[in-house]
Amino acid sequence: MSRSSGRAGVRVAAVVAVAAVLRLQRVVLRWDEVAIAYAAYTEPAAVALEQGSLAQLLSAWVGLHPPLHAALMAGIEQTWAAPVAWLGLSALLSVAAVWLVAREGGVVPGLMLATAPMQLADAAEVNNYPLATFAIACLCVGARSRPALFVAAVGLSCWGHVLGMCAAAAVTVWRLWCPRSPRERPTIALGALLVAFPVAVGAWGLTGQASTFSQPQLDLVEWGTLVTHAWGGVGVGLSVLVVGGLLVDRGATAAAWLAIGLAYAASLLLGAAAPHQRPYLGLLGPPAVLAVGTLLQWMATRRARLARVLTGVVLAACVARGLGAGVAASADIQGLWADLQKPRGIDDVWTSSQAGDTVWLVAPALQADDDKTDQSPVLWRLRPWWPMPRAGLSERALDPVDYLWGHPRWVKGRRVHTSTELSPRHFDAVAQDAFAAGGRVFVVLYDHAPATELSGRVDRVMRPYVADRRAHSREEGLGDDLVWELSGHVEEVSGHVEEVR
C-alpha cells in the first residue's frame, strides 16, 4: 500500500469516526415513545416471519414504504428485540453511507454527509430513511461497478424507498445509455427489471388507494421555511456548490439527484407526501455531496488554488456544524441524565409493580413525529438494551396501527403500553385482561401540563375502578407526574365496559 493511499484511508477513518460519534448521540436521544410506535408499524412483517410466510414478509409494506426495512426489523424481533437494536440498525446504516461516500468521493463529501443536519436528525430513527440513504449511496458509488454489484444496488434502492426506486430507474437508464461494454446491456436490463418488479407492482397497487394522495396541500412559503430551517445556514450555502457539481457531473450522480428531486416534487403536488415530511429531503444527500466532490476535483485541474481555498472553507464549515451538533447533543444527554437522577412517577410504579402486571404510560404528543427533537427521560427508565418483545391480550391480537392500544411490549415481565391518550374502550379491554390473569394495572401520566384537559380525561377513565391515585411533585418540567394503581376490583357501571372490535 502506497503512502498516499494510507493517508487517504486514515482520512476516511477519521470521517467515519466523526459520523459514528454523532450518530451514537442520536441513538441515546431518540429512545422515546415514537420509537415504540414506529416499531409497531412493522409488526405484520414480524408476524409473517414467525409464521414462515416469505410471500407475506416480502409484501409487508409500511404505508408507502417498501418491505425491506420491515423485514430487517422482523429479523431483529426474532433475535434480540431490544430498542437499541432498532435504533442501532439505522445508525449503522447511516454511518455506512458516510463510509461509502468518503471512500468514493473523498473527505469533503464524507464530512458533508457526516455532519448534515437532516442526516443527523434521521440517523437513529426507527424507519427506513437511513436504509434508503445507504441504498442511494450504494447506487451512486456503484454506478460503474460490475453488472452483478450494480443490479444489487438497484435492488437495494428499490426495496429501500419509493424515491430510491425512482433513482434506481434513472441510474439504470444512464448505465444502459453509457455501458462499460455493450454486451452488458441485456444483463443489466434484465437484472434490474427482476429485482425492481415486485416492488414496482406493490407501488402501482398503492396508486389505486385514495389514502395514498390524502396529504395536505403544498404551501410553498411554509415548505421553504421548513427546508431552510432544516438545512441550516451552512446547508443553504453548500447548496450552491451542489448545483455546480450537478452541472459538472452530468452522470449517474446527477441522474439520481434529479430523479429523487423530481419525484419528491411530484409527490408533494399530488398529495402523496406532506410538506412537513422533511425526511424525504435527506435522500438527496448522497448524490448532492458526491456532486460537490466532483466539482472540487474538476476545479483542482483548472484552478488549483481556488479549489484548495474552497475545500478549506467547506471543511471548516462542516467541522463547525459537526462540533455544534455534538455540543448540542451532549447538552441534551446531560439534561437526560440529570432527570434520571430525580424521582419520577415511573420509578414509583416500577418499584411497586412486578412480573404479570400492566403498566400504561400516558404522555401528550407535544411535537410532531417529524420534528425529531423530542426526548423522553421517563422512557429511559426502561433501558433500551432490555429485550422488549411484542405483547398482546390473552384472547386477541391487537391492531399495531391503532395507537390507542398503546403498542404493548413485555418489559421485565410487565406489559407496558405507551400512548398519547387513554381511550376507555381500549383501556377497559386491557384492564380486564390483566385482572383475569391475576395482575394489577398501573397508569402513569407525565409531561402533561401543556395538555390541560388530559389529566381530567384520564381521571374519567379511572372512575369505574377502585384506584389509588397519587401525585409526584416536580419543581420544574411539564407538570407533576400522576400515578393510578388499580387493585383489580371493577365497579359495575352500565355501558362503560364494552366489547372492543
Per-residue pLDDT tens for 218-234?
A: 677 766 776 776 666 66
Indicate whether 318 and 399 sit together in one domain: no
* Judgement on whether residues 268 and 177 belong to the same structural domain of the protein: yes
| Same structural domain, 310 and 389 | no
Tally helices (H) and strands (E) across the chain.
20, 6
Do 423 and 314 share a structural domain? no
Phi, psi of 445 (to 5 degrees): -110, 125
Quickly list DSSP for 193-209: HHHHHHHHHHHHHHTT-
Same domain, 357 and 485: yes
pLDDT recorded at residue 490 = 55
Q: Is residue 499 part of a domain?
A: no
Q: What grid cell was written down for 493?
A: 357501571
Within a domain: 217 = no
One domain, residues 420 and 451: yes
Give me the pLDDT at residue 488, please. 65
Burial class of residue 6, CB neighbours in 10 A (0-12, 13-18, 19+): exposed
Which pLDDT value is given to residue 293? 92
The verdict on residue 49 lying in a domain is no
Segment 445-491, tens digit of pLDDT: 999 988 888 999 999 999 999 889 999 888 777 889 999 999 865 55
Where is the domain boundary, 333, 356, 376? 333
Assess whether 347 and 329 both reside in one domain: no
Q: Is residue 247 part of a domain?
A: yes
User: Do 325 and 358 sit in the same domain of this protein?
Assistant: no
Q: What's the predicted TM-score (pTM) here?
A: 0.93
Cβ-contact 139, 253 below 8 angstroms: no
3-state class of 361 per DSSP? strand
Residue 53 placed within a domain = no
Domain boundary among 333, 362, 391: 333
The confidence score (pLDDT) of residue 2 equals: 59
∠ CA 455-458-462, rounded to 5°: 135
Question: What is the extent of the structural domain holding 439?
Answer: 343-490
Parallel, antiparallel, or unpaired for β 358-362 and 409-411? Answer: unpaired
The pLDDT of residue 63 is: 80
Judge if 262 and 157 occupy the same domain: yes
Residues 258 and 278 in one domain: yes
pLDDT, residue 389, reads 95
> What's residue 187's pLDDT?
95
Say how many domains are in the chain. Answer: 2
Q: Which of 272, 299, 333 is the last residue of a domain?
A: 333
| Nearest by Cα to 139 from 279, 290, 293 | 290
Is 57 within a domain? no
What pLDDT sits at residue 496? Answer: 47
- Specify if 481 maps to a domain: yes
- pLDDT score, position 369: 63
Given CA atoms 92, 341, 370, 48 in this order, what sign does their dihedral have?
A: positive
**Is residue 215, in this structure, part of any structural domain at all?**
no
Residues of the chain with pLDDT under 50: 492-501
Verify that 145 and 196 share a domain, yes or no. Answer: yes
* Residue 190: CA count within 13 A, CB half-sphere: 5
Same domain assignment for residues 233 and 366 = no
